[in-house]
Structure 1
Amino acid sequence: MEYIFELHKTMLSRHLILVYEGEFTQEVTKSVLAMAERNMDSFGEQSSIKRKVFNVMVESLQNIVKHSDDVKSDDNKTLHSAIFMIGKSDTDYIITSGNPVKNEKVATIQQRLEKINSLDKDGLKSLYRDIITNAEISDKGGAGLGFVDMARKSGNQLEFSFKPINQDYSFFSLKTSVSRS
């Protein structure tokens, strides 16, 4: 029972207002968004801030649903585990997600995020227009706009890391901050 108290203390110290870990589906995504919206409403958050946070949350959750890879356990069971968290400080909302990806995708994702982080506001706008004009929809339903949109809406760089799970998969963590002012 001690772990419940430890988890509670961790959530309080990290200012986490919502944490979901498990399989992500469109239905789970809708529920998570609804809970986060209720939380922001209860704080009396400004509608312009709520829109930015909501947009970043939608992109983050869609990234998990569409692009998370299933990892096989040692006994050949499929694991669908991903995580989504939202935290609130005096100055920011912090949207964090994590999901497994195949190691063969790591370099491509990292290059895309580094390119996005290297651009200023006008550069992001130009890249966004370029993707809309020239991109094709992938098999999983994306055109590559999600990360760009997250950077544009948040006005901040996207923090990310990849931690090896095994020889085939890494855990991709993504953090986006949205200013409350």
Structure 2
Amino acid sequence: MNYIYDLHNAMMAQNLIIVYQGEFTQETTKSILAMAERNLDSSGEESGIKRKVFNVMVESLQNIVKHSSEANAAAGNLTSQSAIFMIGKQADRYSIMTGNPIKKSVTADLKRKLDELNQLDKEGLKEMYKEIIKNTQISEKGGAGLGFVDMARKSGEKLEFDFPEMNAEYNFFCLKVNVPREA
């Protein structure tokens, strides 16, 4: 039973205000967003900051839903409970953190894209966003690669990420997006 107290202490130490681990569907996404919106509203946060945090949350959750369903189908539902979503609130920023299984075969390409994205400044991100909208078809998954670009633009900071190994076929894609609390 000590794990409950240990988990509570870990959450307090990391300033986590919302944590959800489990199956990610459109319905759970709606519930998480509603809970986060109530939390942001009750905190009296400035509307511009709330908008940015909410936007990053939507993109992050959509990413998990899209890739978890793909991984579940490929792995025979092995990964349906493996994704996690967290929000931390510090004095100077909100941190939106996600983790979900991804196939090792796509890890190198994703890392390369995220590294390239992190090399861009504000103007470079804006140009990349316009370029993707102008030249890319919407994929079967519903996106055109805009999600990470949009998160980087909204946060104004570099995306933090890692890919710890889960097993022979999957890595665990960890993503942290910080949104400053000053406009």
Above 0.5 in TM-score? Answer: yes
Partner of 2:25: 25
Counting matched residue pairs gives: 178
Distance in 1, Cα, partners of 2:148 & 2:86: 17
Equivalent residue letter for 1:169: Y
Equivalent residue letter for 2:59: E
Partner of 1:141: 142
Partner of 1:15: 15
1:104-159, Cα deviation, whole Å (9 max, x unpaired)? 11011111101110000000000000000111122211100000000000000000
Partner of 1:43: 43
RMSD value, Cα: 1.1
Partner of 2:132: 131
3-state SS of 2:20 partner = strand
Partner of 1:174: 175
Query: After TM superposition, what 4+ stretches of structure 1 lie above 4 angstroms from structure 2?
Result: none
When the two structures are superposed, what TM-score results if normalisation uses the length of structure 1?
0.95
Gaps of 5+ in 1: none
Bigger strand share? 1
Equivalent residue letter for 1:143: A
1:1-181 superposed matches below 5 A: 1-68=1-68, 69-70=71-72, 72=75, 78-80=78-80, 81-181=82-182
Distance in 2, Cα, partners of 1:137 & 1:165: 30
% identical aligned pairs: 61
Aligned pair in 2 of structure 1 residues 39, 102: CA closer, same or farther (>3 Å)?
same
Superposition deviation, residue 77 in structure 1: 5.4
Gaps of 5+ in 2: none
